[in-house]
Structure 1
């Protein structure tokens, strides 16, 4: 069965339940996650959250799959092979951790949907209600405007 075959229809009345906002819902999500694709990951030289947040998650035991938007010459980040599109990542993706400006998010929706992750996490300062609704209606859990590292630390991870 394909991912598209198991996705709820756009008329799904329960899509709002996939917009995760409570500490309990976020903790439950992070408890299920094993593999995180990081869209917009940066290189160590950047010294930006788009590098040190996934590095923290990796040290906490999560598998990180780098999907940078820039750095076309880079083939490895955090010791892991780089992919240029989420849809090109082999195997299942539990969570897409997004480091992109809100205005850039709509351009990534088709790639996110093609990859079929269980959840999408928009980092602190990143929110886009229309994109979040589109993903939630497709059966994908969405967290907006929260730092993954802060949430992991709050859980003692």
Structure 2
């Protein structure tokens, strides 16, 4: 059976209950989509935790981590800005850290990564923009 994203109502519940969003592939360049989306989510009240092995220091005022495993606190959503073929190791790491949701951004789709995450107990959303979904489902904020 082909992959299906959760219902809009289920996605709304995920967003309402999410506090910490680890963003894998978050760029420190303000003109990048990952930065703009994460900044908008941060302004809506979500805690953004940058994950980028190429960045030392901070992004959007938050400490940047080399990997999901380095984050010293619970993660609700792992939001991924990586090419589809690079998402399997991210899914494996998301399972290992006990994240609740693996969210692959718009244009990112990998059924193997989804299967790994689902087998590990995570909810999976693929090929959807978290900022767009949040704007539609929670226009007034959380």
Structure-1-length-normalised TM-score: 0.82
1:63 has 2:47 as partner: yes
Kindly indicate whether the alpha-carbon contact (under 8 Å) linking 2:50 and 2:63 is maintained by their aligned counterparts in 1. yes
Alignment of 1:116-155 (within 5 A): 116-155=98-137
State the structure with bigger RCO (CA 8 A, min sep 6), 1 or 2.
1
Q: Distance in 2 between matches of 1:109 and 1:61?
A: 25
- 1:69: how far off? 4.0
Q: Which residue of 2 aligns with 1:32?
A: 17
1:99 has 2:81 as partner: yes
Q: Which runs of 5+ in 1 are unaligned?
A: 1-15
Provide, for residues 121-148 of structure 1, a one-character-per-residue CA deviation record: whole Å limited to 9, x for no partner. Answer: 1000001011101110110011000001
Kindly indicate whether the alpha-carbon contact (under 8 Å) linking 2:92 and 2:117 is maintained by their aligned counterparts in 1. no
- 1:105: how far off? 1.1
Q: 1:84 aligns with which of 66, 71, 75?
A: 66
Structure-2-length-normalised TM-score: 0.90
- 1:28: how far off? 1.1
**Cα pair distance change 1:69/1:100, threshold 3 Å:** farther
The total of aligned residue pairs comes to 138
Give 4+ residue runs of structure 1 displaced > 4 Å after superposition.
Answer: none
RMSD: 1.7
- 1:112: how far off? 1.8
Q: Which runs of 5+ in 2 are unaligned?
A: none
SS of alignment partner, residue 49 of structure 2: strand
Q: Which residue of 2 aligns with 1:41?
A: 26
